[in-house]
Amino acid sequence: MSGKICRYIVLILLMITTASQAAYAGCLTEKQVRADQVRFVQASLTAAAMQCRGNNRDQILKIYNYFISHYRTDLMDGLINLRLYYQDEMNNEHSHALDRHITLQINYVLSVGQGLPEFCNEILANTTSLVSEPTIDSREWLSGLPIGYEPIVKACPSQPFPQLASSR
């Protein structure tokens, strides 16, 4: 299946998921947007580790492990904040909804990444320098991703949406 077709399928799935979540009239708070962005960075590194081969994969695995260990607190806090969102919105179904959320992020990056010939080289080149910056905020990794951040759930209108997404 071509990269464009995969991308459209994932975008349709994202729209369906977003539409079904809109029925619950939920939106993400600023903390939850931050959590979603950090999870998107992890999803992007996970997708790269799954998709890239050879030396690129080995290097990306090192970067992935660095991100997971260095930003463990952000990731755990983020998981709690996203879980709270889904608990408020979906009650007993929150665990499945959170799993779907994380899976959709990874699938989105995988499908879009397949259509970008330089995906592996670009993510490697852009994130290698971030490893040498131990004080960098975890969301600043968004700018190093070859695929722009796409929220699955929109931010609440009363919340400022952080403009940290990649410009691509």
* Encoded tokens for 159: 């919340």
The more confidently predicted of residues 14 and 30 is 30
Distance CA 65, CA 32 (A): 23
* Mean pLDDT over each residue of the chain, to the nearest integer: 81
Burial class (CB in 10 A: 0-12, 13-18, 19+), 33: buried
63 Cβ contact partners less than 8 Å away, ≥ 6 residues apart: 45, 124, 127, 128, 130, 131
Q: What are the pLDDT digits (tens) for 30-60?
A: 899 999 999 999 999 999 999 999 888 999 9
The more confidently predicted of residues 36 and 167 is 36
> Is 120's pLDDT higher than 80?
yes
**Position 80, amino acid:** I
Cβ atoms of 49 and 150 within 8 Å: the answer is: no
For tokens 């992890």, the residue is: 42
Cβ atoms of 143 and 166 within 8 Å: the answer is: yes
The more confidently predicted of residues 108 and 14 is 108
Q: What are the pLDDT digits (tens) for 107-117?
A: 999 999 998 99
The CB density around residue 99, as the number of other CB atoms within 10 Å, is 11
SS3 assignment, position 125: helix
How far is the first Cα of the chain from the last one, in angstroms, to the nearest whole number? Answer: 23
For tokens 């979906």, the residue is: 90
Cβ atoms of 127 and 71 within 8 Å: the answer is: no
* Encoded tokens for 146: 């070859």
CA of residue 63 relative to chain centroid, distance: 16
